[in-house]
Chain A
């Protein structure tokens, strides 16, 4: 079963507008973490934002915010005031479990965002 689902293969937004990238997840764990990464054409995975399953507040990092709806199992990324440099692939990922044992990151298939002038 798909653990992370990103249903938008591509999204277009005009510069300075806000955009929401969708992510739904599937887990039976009570403790998990959700991540968003940006991957420009250079290939590096750049960490954007993290939300823990027990965090009551939605995570924010500058222009990035995570709209966490636990009951719906969704963790959408909102980018405000889009910039041309935001054009890239965006991946949602989940880490299951907690404690000192190993938990891998499971990634979705990504959404390609194109910001136009």
Chain B
């Protein structure tokens, strides 16, 4: 499979629980992005990695959110103490250049 993989596809969690999502980018892509998409909206940027370095973080990424890309390959996005407002689709994308984004299928999070 040469696409961007995200796991899990769906996650239902109780408010207050921690969740972690995984993204496996296209293997030769050194840039990795996380976006969040709420109902009826377009995706909004959360954070960006170039190789293992997290170079940009949006103000949307509160202290409860943390993202890592330890070896410059896969990435994880963790949300601690989830709130109902965290319910959204979390999309991962990767690229080799600025104009070559490839998105994954996303992880749909529902906080109940």
List residues of chain A with CB under 8 Å of any chain B CB: 4, 33, 35, 37, 42-47, 50, 52, 91, 93, 95, 98, 102-110
Contact = CB atoms under 8 A, between A and B. Distances in A.
Interface stretch (B20-28, B79-87, B101-109): B101-109
A107 B46 CA distance: 13
13 contacts: A33-B98, A43-B91, A44-B103, A45-B91, A47-B103, A102-B55, A104-B58, A105-B43, A105-B45, A106-B45, A107-B43, A107-B44, A109-B41
Chain B residues touching A, majority SS: strand
B48 interface: yes
Given A43-B106, A45-B93, A91-B42, 19 more contacts: A37-B103, A42-B105, A44-B103, A44-B104, A45-B43, A45-B103, A93-B42, A95-B99, A102-B48, A102-B50, A104-B33, A104-B48, A105-B35, A105-B45, A106-B45, A107-B42, A107-B44, A108-B42, A109-B42
B67 interface: no
Size class of the B contact interface (CB-based, 8 Å) = 20 to 34
B8 to A, nearest CB: 12
Given A109-B42, A110-B42, A95 B98 contact: yes
Contact of A50 (B56, B58, B99, B102): B99
Contacts of A107: 42-44
Contacts of B98: 33, 95, 98, 103
Contacts of B44: 107
A107 B104 CA distance: 16
A105 B37 CA distance: 13
A102 B98 CA distance: 8
